[in-house]
Structures are given as structure tokens and as C-alpha cells.
Structure 1
């Protein structure tokens, strides 16, 4: 069943109103008609199966048939901090990690970031990333649309480490602790009823410098490896995120 995220204001007591691009998608792409059913969610506390009643240009109204429980989200909240990669790789990272289960994304600039940051173009790029994220969240039946923050500097990102229960710094030169080595003791320390917040930090194409690794550890991050093979920057976040969710039992893990 097709899913759409709408604003809180679009929910009424027994009906919903769908406008803008979502209304056009229902009418033109999905060729919806009265009587068809879809799922709508406000991304916060309400999610429902609704039956389309009227379809006009730019406006679709529907009646609420059934309220749904919002049980699709993982217990552990993982934010992916990704150093800006070149080309459209960030779009791939956002799309796939939204499908896997990230709750938010923090792009940042690091020492070896290749991308030339242009603040004037940033709003348009953020808008595109958020659109991709919303579509991926709908496709994968998420209960929320992950947040995407404006890019931070490396120092700004490190200052945010204190906001998380654990910070894992993915470093390809790490020869000691692997992600699972660091993760399992943390999982054992987490109370069953809690929802821990984890930050996963992934570098750019050229990786992190030794100085950045040292500063990250001084700021409270745990440097971890992701196995013997070197992963592309757009792959590392997907792999690490999947490992974290698996070990927390979100993908049939322990």
C-alpha cells in the first residue's frame, strides 16, 4: 500500500487532506481514484489507512479507515555523520541509509573533503536531499522522515559528540578495535527500556587523517574498523549502520 508523509495540520478528526506534490503523485502517477486506500503519516504520532474520497487538481481528500501503530522504528537511534563526498554520492548515502534505518544525517567538512562547499547553493542541495529522504522513508515504510542537518565544520561536529550515548569513528587504519568489539559492551550496558542515541562518523574519499582520529578520540569518540577490506565512503555508512542495527536485534540479530 502506497505511503505518504503529510503535516500534522493535514490530519482532521476523521479525514485528511493531501496537497502539493503528494496530491499530484496520487492523481497523475498512481492514477488514484475514489475508493482506493493508502497510508498517511504525520511522522510524529499519527498514522492511518485512509480511503480516497475526492481527487482534484492539487488536492486529495480521504476518510480515515484505520489508525495504525507506529512500530517500524528501531530502538537504537543512529545518526550518520558523513563527510561530504563528491558527485551525487551523498544522495545514495541518504537514500540507502534511510531505508536501512538511520534517524538523521549530519553532513560535515573534514580535512580531506574534496567538495568545494558553497553556502549559496546549500539550501537547494538540502532541499533535494530532504526530498530523496522523504521518498526513501515512504518506500521503506518508515514511521518518520529522518532529519538532515546543514553541513557542519569538523570542530562543530566534535562539539556535538556529548549529545550522544556513544560515538563510533570509522577509521580505515584502525588495527585494534573493530566496530563489533566496541559495540557489544555498549549494548550490554544499555537498559532494555531505553532508546540509546548513537553517532556514526564516516570520512570522505580520502579518509581521515591521523590528526583527525586523535582529536575525535580526545572528544570522546571510539575509533573502530569495519573489517580487513577498505570500503568506499558511500558504502561504509551503510555497512556500519546495518551492523549496529543487527547487533541490537533489529535485523534478527542477538
Structure 2
């Protein structure tokens, strides 16, 4: 069933309009009696039935609540230094499917792409739309947020004290990522991935000064878009998600 997120809480009757309403009516060509899955702002999930169309608005009747929370047992933030071309589109989509709670696009020294203020807003809007669609498609119970584009120094200076942060860096690694994850009982992780040109030595030192660990994912150098998704997958797996080991 098609999934739709609503602001506010579930009620006996639910109104859907705007982009979601247009998509359901004019792209999916939904009919009276068709059922949808509705997720409210408290992550409560329900099965609902379309009972009316009027003035660009869909009215749903709430049928029953569902016990179908699909969220990971941990919170994972993916901080991705901006890659070339449209690779961020792919990363945003797949990271949401894997279960990240938010995505932070980061500007670092070796980022090739340069966005002015207007372009940054447009790109973020595009990535958020991709993330929203991915959340609906894969059955998430939250809509992960794509944060505004930010510089690396600012990201590092604003890390929460209770989050475990690491970078995948081939030039200097404290420990293999598996060992690092298996010796951490944290419930919040911050995964920082560099651009195609990698991090500079100065940026690595800045990371270390701000409590970010370096780990290795093996002897091969992975592309930026590969590294981000492998790292997120390993964090999820090692913490009981994606069919991983029980904790």
C-alpha cells in the first residue's frame, strides 16, 4: 500500500492535500475505496481508506492502527562531503532506505562542486524530495531530514557529546570498523565520509581534535558513494538492524 506522512496526529478522518494529494490523485490515479498507510507525527501507523475527493483534497477514513514500526534501534547521521555530479541523489535515496535518521551535506577542501546560496537551497530541496520518496517506498515511520549544506569545521564544532563520530580514512586508521563498532554500545552514530579527493591531513587532524575517530574498511579504496553506504550498512548490521547480530 502507498504510504503517506501527515503533520499532526491520526484522527477518524484525515485530509490529504498539497503535493501528496496531487500525486495520489493524478499520478497514482487512486480510486474511492483504495487503502493507504498513514504515518502521523508521533510515528503512529494506520491503515486508511479513501472515501472522498473534493477541491484537490483527499479524505481518508482511519480503519485500524498497525504495529509496523520499521525504524532501526539506533540513530545514524550520515555526513557526506559533497560528491560530483548527481551522486548525492543516489546517496540520499539509498541512505534513507538503509535507515539513517538524517543526512548532512558537507563542504570540505577537496569538494569539486561549488554551489552558490540559491543553488544550495535548490539542491537541498531536491535531496529532501528524494529522501521523502525513499522513506515512503521502503516503509519508514519517520521522514529523515536533509540538513542545510554546511562547512566541515562547523559540523565538527557542533557535534553532540553523546554521539559516536568516525571517519573512514585510508591514510590513518585507529582500528578496523568492525572492531570499533563491536566495542561501542552507543545508540547514536555520526558517520563522516569524504569527497572523491578525500580529506586533507589538516582536516583529519581537525576531526581528531573534535573527538572523531578514524577507522578502516579494508585494503581497497572505495568511491565516496560506495564508502558512505557500506559504512552505514555496517553500523546498522552491528547494532541489530539489517538482519544483524542481536544485542
If the TM-score is normalised by the length of the shorter chain, which range does it land in?
Answer: over 0.9
Counterpart in the other structure of 1:158: 156
Counterpart in the other structure of 1:7: 7
What is the Cα deviation at residue 29 of structure 1? 2.0
What is the Cα deviation at residue 4 of structure 1? 1.1
C-alpha distance in structure 1 between counterparts of 2:208 and 2:118, whole Å: 33
**3-state SS in 2 of match to 1:111:** coil
Greater mean deviation of Cα atoms: 137-146 or 44-53: 44-53
Counterpart in the other structure of 2:221: 230
Q: Deviations over 1:116-154 (max 9, x none)?
A: 131122222211111111000000000001011111111
1:240 alignment partner, one of 225, 228, 231: 231
Check the 8 A contact 1:78/1:103 in 2, yes or no: yes
Check the 8 A contact 1:110/1:154 in 2, yes or no: yes
Counterpart in the other structure of 2:211: 220
C-alpha distance in structure 2 between counterparts of 1:87 and 1:210, whole Å: 25
TM-score, structure 2 normalization: 0.94
1:147 alignment partner, one of 145, 148, 164: 145
Structure 2 gap segments, 5+ residues each: none
Counterpart in the other structure of 1:193: none
Counterpart in the other structure of 1:22: 20
C-alpha distance in structure 2 between counterparts of 1:50 and 1:208, whole Å: 48
Structure 1 gap segments, 5+ residues each: 191-195
The structure-2 alpha-carbon separation of the partners of 1:50 and 1:216, relative to structure 1 and needing over 3 Å to count, comes to same
C-alpha distance in structure 1 between counterparts of 2:161 and 2:92, whole Å: 22
Greater mean deviation of Cα atoms: 115-124 or 203-212: 115-124
Check the 8 A contact 2:47/2:63 in 1, yes or no: yes
**3-state SS in 1 of match to 2:182:** helix
Counterpart in the other structure of 2:47: 49
Greater mean deviation of Cα atoms: 106-115 or 157-166: 157-166
C-alpha distance in structure 2 between counterparts of 1:157 and 1:202, whole Å: 12
Check the 8 A contact 1:45/1:70 in 2, yes or no: no
| Residue correspondences, number | 245
Check the 8 A contact 2:96/2:134 in 1, yes or no: yes
TM-score, structure 1 normalization: 0.91
C-alpha distance in structure 2 between counterparts of 1:31 and 1:104, whole Å: 31
Counterpart in the other structure of 1:210: 201
